[in-house]
Structure 1
Amino acid sequence: MTDQTADISALVLFSGGQDSATCLAWALARFSHVETLGFSYGQRHIVELACREALIAGMASLRPDWATKLGEAHTLDIPTLSAISDTALTRDMAIEMGADGLPNTFVPGRNLVFLTFAAALAYRRGITHIVGGMCETDYSGYPDCRDDTIKALNTALNLGMARPFELHTPLMWLDKAATWSLAHDLGGETLIDLIRDQSHTCYLGERGERHDWGYGCGECPACQLRARGWSGYVATRSKATP
């Protein structure tokens, strides 16, 4: 893999989920220094934040050069996001579709807030590359995951902070099966196993049962999407193996 940004630092939005873990590996393969940022915003699945340490340690042990690239791990508390929202990710309510056609797991403004805080932190840290796991190929219709949204916000951040930030979304046009394949390309079966065992994506925060694709309730939209992606990935790998 050609390293085109060998002497540049990056800040990765790192929740502890499958997508952000893959994005962290993607950044480590491209940048010389990588810091991570997670948010505690009153999410029901806050257990995801506890997964980050094991994921970072696993990636550091996977490749010596990745270990030297890993920098500070940041966490920002933004409880206001939960206080002003009324969603299934921030309240104890059933997950269902809303009258507006969006699932009630949509937290209005979440990615806009995350990326704005990330840019503010990156400004102080002297970082201009910010990496996020937003995706509109295999998602729940969240408007703040769309490529147009990210590009518009990128422009606003550059204007508002007078810095040439570049927002990277390596998963934007990948479905979950392709995301698993990307993880395999970056770190082989070792990275795949690390993500399956240590990441967390279940909306309900369940880590009791270990499925083929990892831990979760197995029923929420996040688990179902991850399970379908794993099945697609396994099928693709089987066809590629003689």
Structure 2
Amino acid sequence: PIHFDLQHVRKMGADQLSVHGMRAMLDMKRHLSATLLSAPPEHDFYIFSTRMRRPVLCETPYDLQIANNGQQITGKLLDCATQQNCFNSKLAPARGLELAAGDHEHALTVPEVMALGQPFPGQASEATQAWSFFDALLFQLLVKSPQTLASLTTALPELQAATLIEVFAQIPVVQTHHETHFSARLFNPARLFESEDRLYYTIQPMLIIGDRSSGFVLRAVIEARTQRHPLLVTSVTLKTWPLANN
């Protein structure tokens, strides 16, 4: 609701809708990737991380600053009027990707993945955006998973919700940190899948800390691979407002 319902936002004491965290990061990811891919990537794995410090508001101009020190590429999103840093990101080489063993692994066929890529607000087949698409796809799968909802309702049994979206309508949630550890194979999307391959993904148990008076911090992790190669791990940290205020 904080992204689409202005009346809901005003009841919370704010004046403007905020941009969804995944959408706010999309341009940052694209520009960091373009800087990295100005030369052939030298490493097999990379890690992208973002710390979100302030909401990114709709109808508000921002300045995106990109820097490359030869070891990592960094970005800052600054409010043009106040020069406040809303979020900062970095893209850097990383260790090899080792996926944790999961109890329940799910699979999508390549045509299913391609169909899910149709509404992506970018070019999922471009080298600079393919990994960002898969990151967004995993986020979507995480949010829609009954497993994720079950973790929350176990911690907060009084919630009356059939989907995570209904939870978000009852408890204001902000995304504070996002991390994606991914294979450089995602920079070459045309050769990502082999014949009859699938995208396999596993959701790890959610970590929930905090209490009703101070709010909760939720950390959710989802992993993906092809039949032969690990692809990426997406970790999302969310913070709820104190429940006493709702």
State the TM-score bracket (shorter-chain normalisation).
Answer: under 0.3
**TM-score, normalised with respect to structure 1:** 0.24
Higher normalized helix content (fraction of residues): 1
Structure with bigger gyration radius: 2
**TM-score, normalised with respect to structure 2:** 0.24
Higher normalized strand content (fraction of residues): 2
